[in-house]
Chain A
Amino acid sequence: MKRATVAALLGAALLVVLPRSGDAQGQSYTAPRTKSGQPDLNGFWQALNTAHWDLEAHEAAPGPVLQLGAAHAVPPGLGVVMGGPIPYKPDALEKKNQYAKNVLKEDAEIKCYLPGVPRMMYMPYPVQIVQSTEFILMMSEFATAQRTINMTTSNRPPADTWMGWSNGRWEGDTLVIDSRGFLGSTIGALDQEGAIEVRFLDRAGNYHTDGLHVIERIRRTGPDHLSYEATIEDPNVYTRPWTISMPLYRRVEPNMQLGEFKCEEFVSDLVYGKYQKGSGQ
């Protein structure tokens, strides 16, 4: 057998063997049910990693604003991408590297724009899941971002949105969500001061366009844990689909509720500043 083939086989075997998040305990856990018989995902869940900084494994680095010092420097991370780096097309990788150098202008998070999917799920804010038979709502504290998962219909997106159009179904105990219909940028008419060119998946410039298609798999792995996976596909950017995986942790404090973080208010002087009175324009 050729060495290259042996290596490929070993590599494939390693990919298979690498544990998915929470899998060891998760496989044997049976989630309690809602009254309508579905696994109960209700509650407050939050990621505890640095995926929102950079999905890929990365070392610590300075942040984009010197004056914020250590408070906004990039902490290290082991990465949440399964099976190697994000498979960029060569020209898309060049764009990513440029975006990474220009986050203050390009990253929609700074303007308090809606984070999209899957970014909303691993931003450092709690996500509340409220589950009914027809709809599952997933709501983030950030910018009152909200996803409506259609559980009894499976239509095409009638229009494109920042948070996408999500159709969900149960596969055994796993919630599988198929999402399309994502806007890839701000509208064409928008002034340059507010415009963003692409949608970032994290603060490191990893990005997607309106070609995005996401398939998520969410499952209870214990009383206070979810296993969260998202397969990301965008033929404009990547050579193939790729998958991220992480646990989500329940916020167990009593009387937990989402706070209201309407950050639009705090960034509007920045966004509109050029045209405001007294700006010297």
Chain B
Amino acid sequence: MQGRVFVVVIGVIAALGGAMVSAHHSWNTVFSEDKPLVLKGTVAKVELVNPHGWIWIEVKNADGTVTKWGIEGGPPNGLVRNGITKDSLKVGEELTVRGYGSRDGSNLLAGVQYERADGKAFFLANEGAEATAKARGNLK
């Protein structure tokens, strides 16, 4: 079963002709998949700008010092069209972000998964594509 699904996906990738390949920049010139990080901190600033939105969180280190981390996310237009604004994340609220660190060691993270204090994802639902399509009545 697993193998069959894999073949279907490959077929789809070929048929799509690369429509899924986003890469405006090569992501891997900036961040490294060998640096998985989990940051737990509080929101300091939200910058909803194109092409990448940024969220700044203050993270308390083990030694008690505080470091500001910049988390690079996706474009804000999709968020704004779904009702999320610069005020949706409150300054001071707790946020846990999982992602990948920068190659050069600076305090920047490519954010992959975001979790608020109540355990809910920050952005749209986990199965974002499917959920939105269902809501619009496109799918059964």
Check if A159 sits within 8 Å of B48, measured CB to CB: yes
Q: Which of chain B's residues have a CB closer than 8 A to the CB of A161?
A: 49
Check if A189 sits within 8 Å of B72, measured CB to CB: yes
Check if A159 sits within 8 Å of B80, measured CB to CB: yes
CA distance A189 to B106 in the complex (A): 10
Q: Which of chain B's residues have a CB closer than 8 A to the CB of A157?
A: 86
The answer, among B54, B80, B86, for a CB contact under 8 Å with A187, is: B54
* Distance of B13 from chain A, by nearest CB (Å): 32
The answer, among B84, B86, B108, for a CB contact under 8 Å with A160, is: B86
Q: A188-B56, A189-B108 are in contact. Are A159 and B76 (CB under 8 A)?
A: yes
Chain B residue with Cβ nearest A160: B86
The answer, among B48, B70, B76, B86, for a CB contact under 8 Å with A188, is: B70
Check if A158 sits within 8 Å of B108, measured CB to CB: no
CA distance A161 to B75 in the complex (A): 13
Check if B49 sits within 8 Å of A188, measured CB to CB: no
Tell yes or no: B85 within 8 A of A by CB: yes
Chain A residue with Cβ nearest B70: A189
Tell yes or no: B45 within 8 A of A by CB: yes
Chain B residue with Cβ nearest A162: B49
* Distance of A275 from chain B, by nearest CB (Å): 11
Check if A189 sits within 8 Å of B48, measured CB to CB: no
The answer, among B54, B56, B70, B85, for a CB contact under 8 Å with A158, is: B85
CA distance A159 to B48 in the complex (A): 6
Interface residue ranges of B12-66 to A (CB < 8 Å): 45, 47-49, 54, 56
CA distance A161 to B86 in the complex (A): 11
Check if B48 sits within 8 Å of A160, measured CB to CB: yes
Chain B residue with Cβ nearest A159: B48
Q: Which of chain B's residues have a CB closer than 8 A to the CB of A158?
A: 48, 80, 84-86
CA distance A156 to B72 in the complex (A): 24
Q: Which of chain A's residues have a CB closer than 8 A to the CB of B48?
A: 158-160
Q: How large is the interface on B (under 10, 10 to 19, 20 to 34, 35 or more residues)?
A: 10 to 19
Q: Which of chain B's residues have a CB closer than 8 A to the CB of A183?
A: 49
Q: Which of chain B's residues have a CB closer than 8 A to the CB of A188?
A: 45, 47, 54, 56, 70
Q: Which of chain A's residues have a CB closer than 8 A to the CB of B56?
A: 188
CA distance A126 to B31 in the complex (A): 42
Most chain A CB within 10 A, of B49, B76, B108, is at B49
Q: Which of chain A's residues have a CB closer than 8 A to the CB of B80?
A: 158-159
CA distance A47 to B98 in the complex (A): 50
CA distance A161 to B53 in the complex (A): 12
Check if B76 sits within 8 Å of A189, measured CB to CB: no
Q: Which of chain A's residues have a CB closer than 8 A to the CB of B47?
A: 160, 187-188
Contact with A along B75-114 (1 / 0, CB 8 A): 0100010001110000000000000000000001000000
Chain B residue with Cβ nearest A161: B49
* Distance of A248 from chain B, by nearest CB (Å): 29
Contact with B along A149-193 (1 / 0, CB 8 A): 000000011111100000000000000000000010001110000
* Distance of A184 from chain B, by nearest CB (Å): 11
Contact with B along A183-213 (1 / 0, CB 8 A): 1000111000000000000000000000000
CA distance A211 to B128 in the complex (A): 34
* Distance of A196 from chain B, by nearest CB (Å): 14
Q: Hey, which bits of chain B sit against chain A, CB under 8 A?
A: 45, 47-49, 54, 56, 70, 72, 76, 80, 84-86, 108
Given contacts A159-B76, A189-B108, 17 further A-B contacts (CB under 8 A): A158-B48, A158-B80, A158-B86, A159-B49, A159-B80, A159-B85, A160-B48, A160-B49, A161-B49, A183-B49, A187-B47, A187-B49, A188-B45, A188-B47, A188-B56, A189-B70, A189-B72
Q: Hey, which bits of chain A sit against chain B, CB under 8 A?
A: 156-161, 183, 187-189
14 pairs, A vs B, C-beta closer than 8 Å: A157-B86, A158-B84, A159-B49, A159-B80, A160-B47, A160-B48, A161-B49, A187-B47, A187-B49, A188-B47, A188-B54, A189-B54, A189-B70, A189-B72
